[in-house]
């Protein structure tokens, strides 16, 4: 998948090849998004056209409502990785800035149809765009004859009797309902970030954890212990993941950290991706370090069971995720 970064609506060279364009925030790239993009890709393949997906960085809601508490399921790197797994030829990322937010809806539409030589446009039924979200599917329908594209509006999809929407999945993840959230996403919920130095307690206890610096607008699951996998470059490892405030050690900021099973290397300043697969337990406050260590030993064994990762024959578990 080719990625084009657009600094404005007129940026970048014109592409003369006709395209089938899907446009939206696509936060989480959930099953509904996958269905829409898949339909567009099928049409492009049949017509020997290019499949183009257009998304935004940051998501418009993060810029337009900074104090609303809205958070994203994916940062742009996570979103691009998920889109790259779909039948997409080009992903155009529009750097969403204040000047873009003030472009009128019709001007926005005319610019992108021209920019990508759009033969067919796919959008969700609730898609809104342009200044104050004045553009909607009615405008898309009204202008399709003038701008010479064919419009396809995809109604909101359901899966297992649940609505497929980014906002609903955010609620599930924030409630710790990881398994259900993953089911609607169609893939694991992910948190990525740079590995930074933490308090060093795990190392002191013989149990080092990787502490992530997470973007402030990224959704994180409810506090607790989770089973998942950690991807570091080209390597992937089972992981016991902690989201919480480490209450056994007093008042602390919220942290996301992971113990990579059977792994002990210096990996500071590298980007780590954590895939959350199941929830082990709530975050607890322990009366002693010994109690904490014993419980976490049981937690890690439970993570191994969930991930079907066997313990090394000579391994002894010592340490803490909290």
pLDDT band at 206 (very low <50, low <70, confident <90, very high): low
Q: What is the largest distance, in Å, between two alpha-carbon atoms of the chain?
A: 72
Averaged over 58-65, what is the pLDDT? 91
Residue 168 placed within a domain: no
pLDDT at 15: 58
Residue 317 placed within a domain: no
From residue 24, alpha-carbon distances to 28, 30, 32, 124, 197 in Å are: 11, 12, 12, 8, 36
Residues 219 and 74 in one domain: no
CATH number at residue 268: 2.40.30.30
- pLDDT of residue 321 exceeding 60: no
Q: Could you tell me if 267 and 197 are in contact, meaning their C-beta atoms sit under 8 angstroms apart?
A: no
Q: Which residue segment(s) compose the domain that 102 sits in?
A: 2-157
pLDDT at 207: 67
Residues 196 and 279 in one domain: yes
Find all residues with CB under 8 Å of 81, minimum gap 6, and list them. Answer: none
- From CA 216, how far away is CA 227, in angstroms rounded? 23
Token output for 241:
């993941």
Residues 31 and 99 in one domain: yes
Residues 129 and 19 in one domain: yes
Residues 85 and 196 in one domain: no
- pLDDT of residue 311 exceeding 80: no
DSSP string covering 37-49, please?
Answer: HHHHHHHHHHTT-
Placement of tokens 């900021």 in the chain: 253
Residue 162 placed within a domain: no
pLDDT at 10: 77
Q: Could you tell me if 88 and 37 are in contact, meaning their C-beta atoms sit under 8 angstroms apart?
A: yes
Residues 144 and 226 in one domain: no
The closest alpha carbon to 221, from 196, 255, 249, belongs to 255
**What is the average pLDDT score of the chain?**
91
pLDDT digits (tens, 9 = 90+) for 211-233: 999 999 999 999 999 999 999 99
pLDDT at 301: 94
Q: Is 55 helix (H, G, I), strand (E, B) or coil?
A: strand
pLDDT band at 202 (very low <50, low <70, confident <90, very high): low
Residues 251 and 121 in one domain: no
Helix (H) or strand (E) holding 22: strand 19-23
Averaged over 9-33, what is the pLDDT? 86
Q: Report the length, in residues, of the chain.
A: 322
Residues 99 and 149 in one domain: yes
- From CA 298, how far away is CA 286, in angstroms rounded? 14
Residues 150 and 41 in one domain: yes
pLDDT at 29: 98
pTM of the predicted model as reported, rounded to 2 decimal places? 0.92
* pLDDT greater at residue 178 or residue 296: 178
pLDDT at 70: 87
Residues 16 and 131 in one domain: yes
- pLDDT of residue 158 exceeding 50: yes
Averaged over 59-84, what is the pLDDT? 92
Averaged over 11-17, what is the pLDDT? 61
- pLDDT of residue 184 exceeding 50: yes
Token output for 173:
């993840």
Residues 130 and 218 in one domain: no
From residue 111, alpha-carbon distances to 8, 51, 108, 126, 130 in Å are: 10, 18, 5, 21, 12
Tell me how many domains the chain contains.
Answer: 2
Residue 55 placed within a domain: yes
Cis check: omega of the bond before 242, within 30 degrees of 0: no
- pLDDT of residue 293 exceeding 70: yes
pLDDT band at 14 (very low <50, low <70, confident <90, very high): low
* pLDDT greater at residue 202 or residue 159: 159
Residue 164 placed within a domain: no
Find all residues with CB under 8 Å of 122, minimum gap 6, and list them. Answer: 20, 21, 22, 23, 36, 37, 39, 40, 43, 152, 154
Residue 149 placed within a domain: yes
- pLDDT of residue 319 exceeding 50: no
CATH number at residue 55: 3.40.50.620
* pLDDT greater at residue 92 or residue 315: 92
pLDDT at 270: 94
Sign, CA dihedral 156-27-72-66, equals negative
pLDDT digits (tens, 9 = 90+) for 113-136: 999 999 999 999 999 999 999 999
The closest alpha carbon to 4, from 40, 57, 45, belongs to 57
Residues 199 and 66 in one domain: no
pLDDT at 164: 96
Q: Is 82 helix (H, G, I), strand (E, B) or coil?
A: helix
Find all residues with CB under 8 Å of 245, minimum gap 6, and list them. Answer: 223, 251, 252, 253, 254, 255, 283
pLDDT at 314: 41
């Amino acid at each position: 998948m080719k990625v084009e970064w657009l600094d404005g609506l007129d940026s970048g060279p014109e592409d003369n090849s006709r395209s089938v364009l899907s446009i939206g925030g696509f936060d989480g790239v959930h099953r509904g998004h996958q269905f829409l993009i898949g339909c567009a890709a099928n049409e492009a393949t049949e017509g020997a056209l290019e499949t183009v997906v257009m998304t935004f960085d940051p998501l418009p809601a993060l810029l337009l409502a900074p104090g609303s508490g809205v958070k994203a399921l994916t940062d742009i790197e996570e979103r691009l990785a998920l889109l790259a797994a779909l039948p997409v030829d080009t992903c155009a990322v529009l750097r969403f800035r204040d000047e873009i937010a003030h472009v009128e809806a019709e001007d926005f539409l005319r610019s992108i149809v021209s920019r990508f030589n759009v033969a067919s446009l796919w959008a969700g039924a609730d898609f809104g765009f342009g200044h104050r979200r004045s553009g909607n599917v009615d405008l898309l329908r009204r202008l399709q004859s003038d701008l010479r594209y064919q419009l396809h509006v995809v109604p909101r999809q359901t899966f297992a009797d649940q609505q497929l929407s980014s906002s609903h999945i955010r609620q599930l993840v924030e409630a710790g309902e990881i398994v259900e959230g993953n089911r609607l996403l169609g893939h694991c919920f992910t948190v990525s970030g740079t590995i930074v130095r933490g308090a060093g307690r795990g190392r002191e206890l013989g149990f080092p954890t990787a502490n992530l610096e997470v973007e402030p607008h990224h959704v994180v699951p409810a506090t607790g212990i989770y089973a998942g996998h950690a991807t570091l470059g080209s390597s992937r490892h089972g992981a016991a993941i902690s989201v919480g405030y480490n209450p056994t050690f007093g008042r602390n900021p919220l942290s996301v950290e992971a113990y990579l099973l059977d792994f002990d290397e210096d990996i500071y300043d590298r980007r780590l991706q954590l895939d959350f697969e199941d929830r082990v337990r709530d975050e607890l406050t322990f009366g002693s370090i010994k109690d904490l260590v014993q419980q976490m030993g049981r937690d890690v064994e439970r993570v191994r069971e969930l991930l079907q990762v066997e313990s090394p024959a000579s391994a002894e578990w010592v340490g803490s995720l909290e």
